[in-house]
Amino acid sequence: MRAWLIAAVLVLPVPLAGCALHMRSTVDGGPTAAQLAELWTEPADLAQRDLLHGPGGVQGQPDPRDKFEFISADVSGASPGFDVRDSKGREWSAKLGIEAQPEIAASRILWAAGFHQPPTYYVPGWTLTQNGTATEQPAARFRLKQHMTNVGPWAWNANPFVGTNEFGGLVVLMVMINNWDLKTSNNVMYDVDRGGKVERWFVVKDLGASFGKSGLTGGLFGRFHGSKNDVAGFERALLVDSVDGERVHTHFHGAVYVPVLPRTIRVSHVRWICERLNRLSDKQWHDAFRAAGYADDIGDRYVRHLKQKVAEGLKVVAAAQ
């Protein structure tokens, strides 16, 4: 029994004992406006943003009738996938499995609030071609790779934005969607070619561990994980547990890789993100889930609970003023 317990402890995620216990900005005096724009830009068109088609628009979506040429298999994450090329020469990352739907919906909501996101689309069925053989594939998340150069990961606990309302609002949004897989390898810096001008983007890229519950799943290490794409589990999670001065305690157990992260949430961070999300129309909320291929009744449940969390956040703001 003792040997079993020792072995179990050894498989705990390393970041629990590492630098993820501390938060620090990597720039002196906080980010400049130009640096902050690498994470977020104010969405002046927030109330008009097309959450059905996202940042790539209707013109950018892949054609499910197309035949997608195999480039390589992606075995780096929890969900299987492929890198593929369409008949227009565009390269895509196609993710299969349970994470495909929540990643689309989460990406739409982040983009609506002004955080950078690459074009992503839900394709309910498609054809993969490899060595002249065509095989039918199940639903997948397609993320565009064209014009975007991956220049490496960025860390939740060490980046230029720590201490800003924008970064704090991003943390609150991760709590709101119950994205419990907050590790460095899921964050990417992109150099994006915007018609001859290259922009640096800090992106939360892998969002598939969202829209479930953020821990306490019943296993030995259940607190360190959660469910994905689980509307019943998601509905059981509220946003706010209590408020202690400026600090907001949340019902979130998903920061095993950066345990300090939820403890950095302040009233101003909740105010910042909830005021923006509160400007979304019912159609926009529902379009974010239609974009991900959810049936209307399931999408309705997600939207209802998200709007409840926004209302919770606005009440916290009112109570603190």
Cβ count near 219 (within 10 Å): 9
Kind and range of the H or E run holding 100:
helix 100-112
Q: Report H helices in 27-99.
A: 33-36
DSSP string, 154-197: --SSEETTTTSHHHHHHHHHHHHTT-----GGGEEEEEEEETTE
What does DSSP assign to residue 99? T
Tens of pLDDT, residue by residue over 81-133, are 999 999 999 999 999 999 999 999 999 999 999 999 999 999 999 999 999 99
* pLDDT of 8 above 70: no
* pLDDT of 219 above 80: no
Residue 20: predicted pLDDT: 59
Record the tokens describing residue 165, joined without a space: 């309302």
Query: For 18-27, 146-155, 180-189, which range has the lowest pLDDT when averaged over its residues?
Result: 18-27
**Chain centre to alpha carbon of residue 156:** 13
Bin 114: left if φ > 0, else alpha if -120 < ψ < 50, else beta: left
159-174 burial string, b = 16+ CB within 10 Å, else e? bbbbebbbbbbbbbbb
Scanning the structure block, which residue is given the tokens 């109330």? 47
* pLDDT of 1 above 70: no
The answer to whether residues 129 and 91 touch, using CB atoms and an 8 Å cutoff, is no
Residue 78: predicted pLDDT: 75
Residue 111: predicted pLDDT: 98
Residue 224: predicted pLDDT: 58
Q: Which pTM value belongs to this model?
A: 0.91
Of residues 78 and 56, more confidence is placed in: 56
Scanning the structure block, which residue is given the tokens 């019902």? 251
* pLDDT of 19 above 60: no
Cα dihedral 180, 73, 75, 58 in deg (nearest 10): 0
Q: What type of residue is 286?
A: H
Q: How far apart are CA 120 and CA 291, in angstroms?
A: 9
Tens of pLDDT, residue by residue over 190-201, are 999 988 899 999
Q: How far apart are CA 69 and CA 142, in angstroms?
A: 13
* pLDDT of 18 above 80: no
Residue 166: predicted pLDDT: 98
From residue 39, give the alpha-carbon distance in Å to each of 56, 60, 159, 198: 18, 23, 10, 15
- CA Rg value for the chain: 20
Of residues 305 and 11, more confidence is placed in: 305
Mean residue pLDDT across the chain: 90
Residue 197: predicted pLDDT: 92
Of residues 147 and 4, more confidence is placed in: 147
Tens of pLDDT, residue by residue over 261-309, are 999 999 999 999 999 999 999 999 999 999 999 999 999 999 999 999 9
Residue 317: predicted pLDDT: 76
**Helix and strand element counts for the chain (H, E):** 8, 14
Average pLDDT over residues 138-142: 97
Tens of pLDDT, residue by residue over 199-213, are 999 999 999 999 999
Scanning the structure block, which residue is given the tokens 């991760």? 174
The answer to whether residues 292 and 207 touch, using CB atoms and an 8 Å cutoff, is no
> Sorting pLDDT into bands at 50, 70 and 90, what band is 217?
low
DSSP string, 41-85: ---TTGGG--TTTGGGTGGG---TTSEEEEEEEE-SSSS-EEEEE
Q: Beta 24-25 vs 158-159: how paired, if at all? A: parallel
* pLDDT of 6 above 70: no
Average pLDDT over residues 225-238: 93
* pLDDT of 164 above 60: yes
> Sorting pLDDT into bands at 50, 70 and 90, what band is 221?
very low
